[in-house]
Amino acid sequence: MIEICEVGPRDGIQNEVKFVPTDTKVALIQKLIDSGVQYVEAVSFVNRKVVPQMADAEELLSRLPVQDDVKYAGLVLSRTGLERALKTDIGYLHVVTTTSDSFNLKNAKRTVEDATAELSGVVADGVAAGRNVVGVLGTAFGCPFEGEVPVERVLRVAETFLKTGCRAITLADTTGMANPQQVADVVAAFKRAFGADLDVGLHFHNTRGLGLANVLAGYHAGVERFDSSIGGLGGCPFAPKAVGNVCTEDMVNMFHGMGVETGTDLEQLVETAKGMEQNIERPLDGMLMKAGIA
């Protein structure tokens, strides 16, 4: 069965111009859970002034329903973010670095090597504190500033994170540059390097219209965990030209049509997407919410 990590409440909302109240986020996450989603990237522990949509991370987490079968994750980009996260009860930490020096230097003022050195300590301390840590590697399929990112560099960063305690790795296509053949090749390289049992997830943006095609390529390459966003919400405030994430209900529709289980109720997901479109007050990118299921 496919595991969906729903990133709409974090990656989806963070770039919206219209402020999304905490009440709306709580209601969205509850509806997603009611639809069968069991893994939600709910918050980001980042500078409140830089990403004001995520300023309510602690309050939001305190108001979410506690269920044994639901996992909540928060994005961590620095030691300061880790310190905030560890003051909450969040169970999963998504520790993020990009794998492109050009991207990192423009957005974090440090090289990939420097970022990896700091964040490997963050990973180790998060694990020591009893949290599940997933390493998220941005620009894993290309950089908007320097183009190709060698897969060997992505593998080196992944190896460092795994050695310091990461339970899984997510490969993120930060600005939607991946293509299906590349996805298959990169996943194969990871399996050769770390073994078939490594928990690898994929995170795609639909910038160039290849989001679902890349998901399918990843699935055929053996990946069973995918990030997606309700209604196709998304975009990164640090990544030029990044548009929405792969749309959750569109991805579920594809898998259900293939006879692949996702554990989710497609009709409920579509209704949730329509409701979020009303809250955001702009058209969202999801296709199924426009075309209908039948």
Other beta carbons within 10 angstroms of residue 80's beta carbon come to 13
Q: How far apart are CA 94 and CA 158, in angstroms?
A: 13
5 catalytically annotated: no
Backbone angles phi, psi at 132, to 5 degrees: -85, 125
Q: Which long-range contacts (CB under 8 A, 24 or more apart) does 30-36 make?
A: 30/65, 31/268, 31/271, 31/272, 31/275, 32/6, 32/8, 32/230, 32/269, 32/272, 33/65, 33/67, 33/70, 34/268, 35/264, 35/265, 35/268, 35/269, 35/272, 36/262, 36/263, 36/264, 36/265, 36/268
Q: How far apart are CA 270 and CA 267, in angstroms?
A: 5
Annotated catalytic residue within 5, 166, 236, 247 = 236
Count Cβ atoms within 10 A of the Cβ of residue 219 and give its class: 0-12 exposed, 13-18 middle, 19 or more buried: buried
Catalytic (active-site) positions: 236
